[in-house]
Copies of this chain bind each other. A is one copy, B any other.
């Protein structure tokens, strides 16, 4: 099942997904004696940890994306295919794409996760999540449109609903979104409107557990909540969301049920595995965990299939301390690199120990000057944490041109508190660019036709 380097035709490694897991595997195999095929639906790698900055008007999509072909163009052994993998036939070592097929000797699946509404998929249209560029632009449109709608609204109660921003989920994404929206309302946009005072906006962060950033230590969670409060965010913990419509969020805190009128509701609460998880389970008999991730062996292979690896958010790896590794970029990067090394070692006739994640710490940014960092041996918050966060994020942005531009954009935003990328763009399908006299969104192309949001 495993080729060796002496074989005639080079060993074919196929990687599905150009996120952190897939791309780091591809880069680590760039000089290896194998043929690499990198398949992604999109033509770019997306630096997902900064997606919330696109959603809140600081960065442009291109600032946090690198064309996949450009990233690997120096790797002579690597071919990039823009394609949509739909299924896998492990016995034939074949992938079925929307157009055509690809065969592999070794397969690395790194297709990640999308957001989950815990069985309430109808919430998706009213409470967008944040996984793709399109998601971020949709959020950006909603957020800035809400201020425009409030400016026009004469009814005080309706205006309050337009100025209420509810973020569901107090993990890193939710915390970062809430902080950025608070900065927008209470600082950036303050002098831009005439009928509303944007500082009357309410930014509400809802979390089901007893504290924000539940995976972090309690003292960092407390520090984060403090910083959020200082920015003007209202944090509400131990709160479950029981219903969402386009203008009301229903919450339950203990026995207390509350109806919160709000026109901008953002989802940062849960994830579910991409469809490749199910495809792998059905074709190999592999088990999936609660959110559909593939439960992998200690070397990241699918049980019984040493030629199929799963890395990144799609992998459920519990061999280290009994609970699955978190779905964050550093885990995906290390897994991708591990699998690349393992493939090279195997081809050379060697074996490798089980994968082991080296946790170099975790962090979340809350706003200008405010972040929390946990490096394991030391934890801190505030300006220093913010600087570390900035440094690490710039360091890992894959291409240098992006780094330079992003750094300057951040520097500029930091000093001026401006946000240049607050455009409301898109068309009907994306979520509409107008508000009619009833306060309904409408698309300017469809004369006066309010559409569902």
Contacts and interface: CB of A to CB of B under 8 A. Distances in A.
A144 interface: yes
A180 to B, nearest CB: 16
Contacts of A422: 43-44, 67
Contacts of A337: none
Nearest to A134: B427
B98 A448 contact: yes
B401 A65 contact: no
Interface in A66-81: 66-67, 69-70, 73, 79-81
Contact of A192 (B69, B152, B430, B437): B69
A405 B408 contact: yes
Contacts of A42: 423-424, 433
Contacts of A429: 427-430
A352 interface: no
Given A67-B420, A69-B192, 5 more contacts: A60-B61, A82-B152, A82-B424, A98-B444, A98-B447
Nearest to A442: B98
Contacts of A256: none
Give the interface size bracket for A toward B: 35 or more
Contact of A423 (B81, B133, B399): B133
A48 interface: no
A401 B25 CA distance: 37
A425 interface: yes
B412 A99 contact: no
A38 B229 CA distance: 36
B65 A434 contact: no
A339 interface: no
Nearest to A66: B420
- 4 tightest CB-CB pairs across the interface, nearest first? A60-B60, A429-B429, A62-B421, A69-B192
Nearest to A424: B43
A328 interface: no
Q: Which of A66, A194, A402 has the most CB of B within 10 A?
A: A194
21 contacts: A41-B444, A42-B424, A43-B144, A43-B424, A60-B62, A65-B423, A67-B192, A67-B420, A70-B418, A73-B192, A79-B194, A81-B151, A83-B434, A98-B442, A99-B434, A133-B425, A134-B427, A401-B416, A405-B405, A428-B429, A429-B430
A73 B191 contact: yes
Contacts of A424: 42-44, 82
Contacts of A452: none
A436 B82 contact: no
A15 B229 CA distance: 41
A435 interface: yes
Nearest to A189: B69
A322 interface: no
B99 A435 contact: yes
Given A61-B423, A69-B193, A99-B152, A84 B434 contact: yes
Contacts of A447: 86, 98
A191 to B, nearest CB: 5
Interface string A135-148: 00000000010001
Given A98-B448, A418-B70, A408 B399 contact: no
